[in-house]
Homo-oligomer: A and B are copies of this chain.
C-alpha cells in the first residue's frame, strides 16, 4: 500500500497527491550546483583570456552569461517542462532542486501559472540568448550590447512579475522566514541586481554609440 507523505510547503492546504520528500539535503544540492558553476565560470575566464584585446569587464560578462544561460536552460528548463517533479521516487538532481526551492516558494510545487510562464520564457528565450551573448561578446558582434540589454530586461520583467504576483496573492508561500530570505529573496536577488547593472551599462554604451554616429554624420 502506498503511504502518503506530508509535504513541507506553505500553505499546508496545498494539495500535492503523490508527493515524495527530498532525498538530498540542502548541502547535497547546493554544493554540486555551485561547484559546477565555479568550474564553468573558471573555464570561460581562462579561455576568454586568450581573446585579443578583450577587457576584464567583457570577460566577467562572458562568465555571467554562461552561468546564467546554463542555469536558465538546465535548471529552469527542467522545471518549466516537468509538472510532476515533486512526485519523483528516485533522487533526480533537478527534481530535488525544485523540491527544495519550493520551501521558499510553494507556487513552484503548486504549478502556479504565472511562475510556470515566467520560468518557461526564461528557459526558452533568455537561456539560449544568454549563450549567444557569450559568443557575441567574444566575437565583438555589433549586436552584443543590444542583445545583453534585451536579456537583462527580460530577466528584470520576469522578476517583477514573479514578486508582484506573490505580493498580490498574499506573499505567504514560504515554509519559514529562513526559506523566505534564503531562497525566495536571496536566490533571486542576483537576477535583479546584476541584470540592472548590465542594462544600465548597455544603455549608456548604446547612447554613446549614437552620439558618435551623430558626430560622424555631421562632419
Contact = CB atoms under 8 A, between A and B. Distances in A.
A47 interface: no
A176 B202 CA distance: 45
Contacts of A212: 209, 212-213, 216
A145 interface: yes
Interface of A is mostly: helix
A212 B208 CA distance: 12
Contact of A209 (B118, B121, B209): B209
Interface string A203-214: 100111111111
A8 interface: no
A203 B146 contact: yes
B210 A117 contact: no
A26 B153 CA distance: 36
Interface stretch (A31-39, A61-69, A157-165): A157-165
Given A150-B153, A161-B114, A161-B161, A210 B121 contact: no
A137 interface: no
Contacts of A154: 153, 157
Contacts of A108: none
Interface string A25-64: 0000000000000000000000000000000000000000
Interface of A: 113-114, 116-118, 120-121, 140-146, 149-150, 153-154, 157-158, 160-161, 164-165, 168-169, 202-203, 206-214, 216
